[in-house]
Amino acid sequence: MTATVTSTSAQPARAGITFPDGFIWGAATASYQIEGAVREDGRGPSIWDTFSRTPGKVYAGHTGDVACDHYHRYAEDVALMADLGLASYRFSVAWPRIRPDGTGPVNIKGLDFYDRLTDELLGKGIDPVVTLYHWDLPQTLEDRGGWTSRATAEAFAEYAEVVYRRLGDRVATWTTLNEPWCSAYLGYGSGIHAPGVRNPAAALSAVHHLLLGHGLATQALRAAGARQISITLNPCEVSPLDPANPADRDAARLIDGLANRIFLDPLLRGRYPADVLEHISRLTDLAYIQEGDLEIINQPIDVLGINFYNPSYVSAKPGAPGSPDYPGSEGIAFRPPVGPVTDMNWQIEPAGLTRLLTRLHRDYPGTPLMITENGAAYPDGPSDSGEVADLRRIEYVDGHLRACHDALAAGVDLRGYFLWSLMDNFEWAEGYRKRFGIVHVDYTTQQRVLKDSAKWYREVIRRNGLE
Ligand code: FCB
């Protein structure tokens, strides 16, 4: 899947823009995607270790066994971040390093690693932003039902508190979950992610238990003294293919319900949307939603993290099989990408990000927003002279930063932008063949090379804006 090359020279001249004072510039990664060292210092197996070793699940049998070897090279990587001028770094903690079997004894050596990383960041003036769950569930918990079980939500809150007790004196911002939509629907619905289950009812109960885990962890973190708590979602920016067609509008509303409102409404309004409950009650008995759960889920949060890559367009198409990523979406067709795409075959449409941010600001007012991921995969590697001319990534990020700026101009309370990703890494089911980094990683030598996008981003940060 090679992307169409768009000519930068054909673009009209763009005006310079400046971001508000204090706008946070960062970059993001996740534990299983970069750390490697999967058997070191007492780490237990996660569902991604199991999944990536299952034939046919991950491209070419790639695993996170070594990844970017960040576990050993974290100091070098933090030095790169400092060189880029990052104000903030979003990383995730691997639950199986902290509690290898999910609920049992705490592994001090696992905590030690994140302690060293935190101090290294602070020593370079970089603010650590911790995500507690970026998909690497301890395998023992999956063996007991994973996110289809309430016990996993309870175990998550205990684990969150353990990490907080060690790092809370130095880490201000705590993100509970990354993209629970992916954990639930890709993990238990379509099965393209770990643990690879294909069962719509399981996916829906996973949604609820992930939300419950967020609520319980938020309560535990607050009680322990956490200052800033957030959750990161990847809302689907979905539009009807033909806005004048009521059936297409219904299709878009259903997908918005299953992808977005099923998370946003419990989190921020304390209830599931009635249309979504009605829809999913055809697929599951809802008995997993217990009295009092919604009060637990509806904890005040300080910031809502948003990951955005591409918009979606849907239409009503009787007889269409729908998407296994959206339980009960039979009769709905997703339009294939139109126009330029990235190496993931994801449509590039920065205006979709402005639409998403203004919609969130309108429908869920009062919660500050943060872009916790945005970026693009392109395969560019070093030339003979060692330069990585990834102009398409620069173009992509430039467009999306302008989209953020448009949202700010429309009154959206957007606090910052974290680029995905600091460096090339293990892209889940795609293995190492998709490269999202602004730093190139040679997986044979583990050599890091700044791509042109990294040098460009350094200038954006320095200028607090775009030329
Ligand atoms: C997001 C994930 C992140 C990365 C990007 C490309 O869904 O949170 O880990 O894989 O997509």
Whether the CB-CB separation of 277 and 207 falls below 8 Å is answered with no
| pLDDT score of 4 more than 60 | no
User: Is 373 annotated as catalytic?
Assistant: yes
| pLDDT score of 9 more than 80 | no
**Mean pLDDT within 141-168:** 98
- Report the pLDDT value the prediction gives residue 5, as an integer from 0 to 100: 41
Q: Report how far residue 442's alpha carbon sits from residue 261's, in angstroms, rounded to the nearest whole number.
A: 41
CA of 427 to the centre of ligand 1 (A): 7
| pLDDT score of 98 more than 90 | yes
420 ligand 1 Cβ < 6 A: yes
Core vs surface per residue 144-153: b (16+ CB within 10 A) or e: eebbbbbebb
Q: Which residue lies with its CA nearest to atom 9 of ligand 1?
A: 30
**Mean pLDDT within 78-85:** 99
427 ligand 1 Cβ < 6 A: yes
* Helices and strands, counts by H and E, the chain: 17, 15
- Report the pLDDT value the prediction gives residue 14, as an integer from 0 to 100: 80
**DSSP per-residue letters across 436-456:** --SEEEETTTTEEEE-HHHHH
- Report the pLDDT value the prediction gives residue 311, as an integer from 0 to 100: 98
- Report the pLDDT value the prediction gives residue 7, as an integer from 0 to 100: 42
Name the pTM for this structure.
Answer: 0.97
| pLDDT score of 367 more than 90 | yes
Asked if residue 33 belongs to a known ligand binding site, the reply is yes
Q: How confident is the model at residue 13 (pLDDT cuts 50, 70, 90)?
A: low
User: Is 40 annotated as catalytic?
Assistant: no
Q: How far is CA 134 from CA 46, 49, 424, 429, in A?
A: 11, 14, 17, 15
Asked if residue 309 belongs to a known ligand binding site, the reply is yes
Q: For 240-253, how does the pLDDT look when each residue is reduced to its tens digit (9 = 90+)?
A: 999 999 999 999 99
Whether the CB-CB separation of 257 and 207 falls below 8 Å is answered with no
**Mean pLDDT within 32-36:** 99
User: Which atom of ligand 1 is nearest to 182's Cα?
Assistant: 7
User: Which atom of ligand 1 is nearest to 232's Cα?
Assistant: 8
Whether the CB-CB separation of 424 and 435 falls below 8 Å is answered with yes
Q: What average pLDDT does the structure give for the chain? A: 97
| pLDDT score of 11 more than 60 | no
**Mean pLDDT within 403-413:** 98
89 ligand 1 Cβ < 6 A: no
152 ligand 1 Cβ < 6 A: no
Q: How confident is the model at residue 15 (pLDDT cuts 50, 70, 90)?
A: confident
Q: Report how far residue 457's alpha carbon sits from residue 451's, in angstroms, rounded to the nearest whole number.
A: 10
Q: How far is CA 290 from CA 117, 311, 398, in A?
A: 39, 34, 45
CA-closest candidate to residue 126, choices 67, 177, 173: 173
91 ligand 1 Cβ < 6 A: no
**Mean pLDDT within 306-318:** 98
Query: Ligand 1 pocket check: which of 325, 427, 433 to mutate, most ligand atoms within 8 Å of Cβ?
Result: 427
| pLDDT score of 12 more than 90 | no
Q: Report how far residue 201's alpha carbon sits from residue 317's, in angstroms, rounded to the nearest whole number.
A: 24
Q: What sign has the CA pseudo-torsion 230, 25, 193, 106? A: negative
Asked if residue 48 belongs to a known ligand binding site, the reply is no
Environment class of 98 (CB within 10 Å of its CB; exposed 0-12, middle 13-18, buried 19+)? buried
Residue 258 CA neighbour count, 13 Å, CB half:
30
Asked whether the bond before 421 is cis by omega within 30 degrees of 0, the reply is: yes
**Mean pLDDT within 130-150:** 99
Whether the CB-CB separation of 8 and 395 falls below 8 Å is answered with yes
**DSSP per-residue letters across 206-240:** HHHHHHHHHHHHHHHHHHHT-SEEEEEE---EEEE
CATH of 17-466, one of 3.30.390.10, 3.30.429.10, 3.90.1150.10, 3.20.20.80: 3.20.20.80
Q: Residue written as tokens 């409950």?
A: 277
CA of 247 to the centre of ligand 1 (A): 31
Would you kindly state where each structural domain of the chain is located, as residue ranges? 17-466
183 ligand 1 Cβ < 6 A: no
| pLDDT score of 2 more than 50 | no
Whether the CB-CB separation of 49 and 63 falls below 8 Å is answered with yes
| pLDDT score of 231 more than 70 | yes
131 ligand 1 Cβ < 6 A: no
Q: Which of 237, 373, 395, 430 is catalytic?
A: 373
